[in-house]
Structure formats: C-alpha cells, structure tokens
Amino acid sequence: MTGITLTTKKNLLLFAGRAHPELAAEIAGCLGIEPTPTKLSDFANGEIYVRFLESVRGCDAFVLQSHTAPINHWIMEQLIMVDALKRASAKRITVVTPFFGYARQDKKNRGREPISARLMADLFATAGADRLMAVDLHTAQIQGFFDGPVDHLFALPILAGYLETKLNVRNVTVVAPDAGRVRVCERWTDRLGTPLAIIHKRRDPDVANQVKVFEVVGHVKGRTCILVDDMIDTGGTIVKAADALFEQGAERVIAAATHGVLSGSAVDTLKNSRISEVVITDTLPIAQEKRFDKLTVLPIAPLLARAINEVFNDGSVTSLFDGQS
C-alpha cells in the first residue's frame, strides 16, 4: 500500500469585490499575486451572484471590498463572497474593508436608534468571517463589536509623512475638529512635535450633517493648521471648521482625512473654500470628476498589502505602527 504524504503549505488568496478594482489590483501587485478569478454579476432584480472560478479549499482568504456608493450593494456583495468561501471550505476568512460602512452609527445618541456598526460586525461574523481588517475606524470601540481578531490600521504615517515633506512643522498646529478626534490628533502631535488645538462643535439634532456652533480652543493665530479627521463626507463641517480657524487668525488651513467619501456637492464646497489643500487616501475610489486642484490622493495599497502579509505569515500587524502609539 502506497503511503500518503501530508502537506500543510499555506495558500494566500485575494478576493476582490467590484467596488474598487484599482485598489485590488494595486494590493495584488504589492503582494506579487493576482486576485482570484471570480464571477460577480447582478440578476435583473438586483440580487447578486458570486462564484469563485478555482478551488479555495484550505486557503487563507482575504476578501477586499471598499464600502463606497451604492454602499449597501457592495456590503451585500462582500457578505455573499464570505458565505461562498465558508461553504467552499476556506480555512480562514479575513474581511478587508478599507472603509468600514456604517461606522458612524457606533452608539445610541437618542432613544430608538440602531447601533448599525455592531450590526455590520454581526453580519460578517454570521456570514463566516474569522477576522476583520479596516483602516481608521470612526471610533476604536468598533473593534469590540466583532468577536474575533480586528486589525485596525492607521493612515497617519502616510498622511503625516506626506505633510512633513511640505511644511515647516515649527509653525504647525494640529487641530481636532471635535472631541472624538482628540486621541487621533494626539498621535499626530507626537509624531510632528506640534501643539494641539480643538474645535468644540454642537450639532443640530434635527438636521443630518449640520453643525450649529464652533469654538476654537488652542493657539492657532498666525499658524498653519492641519485639520485631521477620519473622513470627509459632504465637506460642510470641515469647511466651517476651517472658517472658524481663520476667524481666530490662522494663516493657512490644510485638511487631512483617511477616507474621501465626497458625497453630494462636496467637491464644489471644498474647491470654493479657503482650505489650501485637501489630503486623503484612496481607501475609496475617487472618480475623475471628483478630483480637483486642491486634492491630493495618497495610495493606501502598500499599507494594506503589508498588513495582509503579516496576518498571512502570523506576524505582527502592530509592528507596522511602532512609534505611532
């Protein structure tokens, strides 16, 4: 009787949804692989069909999808991809969401509201995900919503590294646009060696995306201010924050954010503002018609590829941010 030789060779496979094919190609290029061939299509009624065109049994699967508009469609596609992998006997499934949808709904501010970020984590777990990977979650507490490992990546080294090459940091003040961003901005000040200012804002509870009052706490007069946020959606809040800084004597304002959602009239709002530069990453696709002279888009693919490689090789994702505590 011929003996059987057992092999335990690990197999990394990258699966890409249709939301951001350019990012998938860049990550695959960094890893030296190709995205796994996958058939993705929509039925006439909008339902999504998924089928992988090669065996995934025993693989270490990374399922990439950027939650861009139409956001619910792409989230559903990623969930179905995870379900298909689970049923096809993938060994481990890591959901890679450069921008984690519904992250702003991470708590109940008023009665009868959902905690949609928790629901998102539950949906991925139910579909069969073993691990989540995301860049700059809206709040760190979202990591606790998923009952398994969560790799929370930071775009700070990319954004701050770019601005360090352009600015005289001795004349820079990092500005938190609200109290929730203070901890993130402290990491910026630790890296740049700059002071911190905070904008206290009060939202209109009856109108979404509207802020009523801004108050600046900190020294900004005559200085270059870097407004740091996790995302720019309509652009209205960050432009009003910039106006508040100019009213307090700021010489120049730069906006830096990880995620360029850029909904509605955001492009016109930002173009016509006094903000001198808007710096984002490409966690979300930025269509050509949404690009403008003030906008700088930095690549996120190298960071995601390094994190995927560390997870695959059972290394340390935290090591990617040593010195950025």
Q: What is the pLDDT of residues 123-161, one digit of tens each?
A: 999 999 999 999 999 999 999 999 999 999 999 999 999
CA distance 234 to 225: 20
Q: Which of 86, 91, 201, 271 is catalytic?
A: 201
Q: What pLDDT score does 323 carry?
A: 53
The pLDDT tens digits of the residues spanning 15-29 come to 999 999 999 999 999
Residue 311 clears pLDDT 90, i.e. is over it: yes
What the chain holds in terms of domains, given with CATH numbers, is 12-154+302-319 (3.40.50.2020), 156-298 (3.40.50.2020)
Residue (of 62, 80, 76) closest to 23 by Cα position: 62
21-31 and 301-312 helices, crossing angle to 10°? 50
Q: What pLDDT score does 204 carry?
A: 60
Residue 279 bridge partners (DSSP)? 256, 296
| pLDDT interval class at 325 (50, 70, 90) | very low
Mean pLDDT across 63-76: 98
Phi, psi of 203 (to 5 degrees): -85, 155
| pLDDT interval class at 319 (50, 70, 90) | confident
Which residue has tokens 């270059």? Answer: 224
| pLDDT interval class at 88 (50, 70, 90) | very high
Average pLDDT taken over every residue of the chain: 94
User: How many residues are present in the chain?
Assistant: 325
Read off the tokens for 167.
Answer: 């600015």
Which residue has tokens 């630790």? Answer: 190
| pLDDT interval class at 260 (50, 70, 90) | very high
HSE-CB for 32 with a 13 A CA cutoff = 2
The more confidently predicted of residues 316 and 211 is 316
Phi, psi of 47 (to 5 degrees): -65, 150
| pLDDT interval class at 166 (50, 70, 90) | very high
Q: Which of 28-42, 207-221, 285-299, 310-324 has the lowest mean pLDDT?
A: 207-221
CA distance 82 to 95: 8
Q: What pLDDT score does 321 carry?
A: 83
Q: Which of 108-117, 153-162, 205-214, 261-270 has the lowest mean pLDDT?
A: 205-214
**Entry pTM:** 0.93
Q: Known catalytic residue: 9?
A: no
CA 139 to chain centre: 11
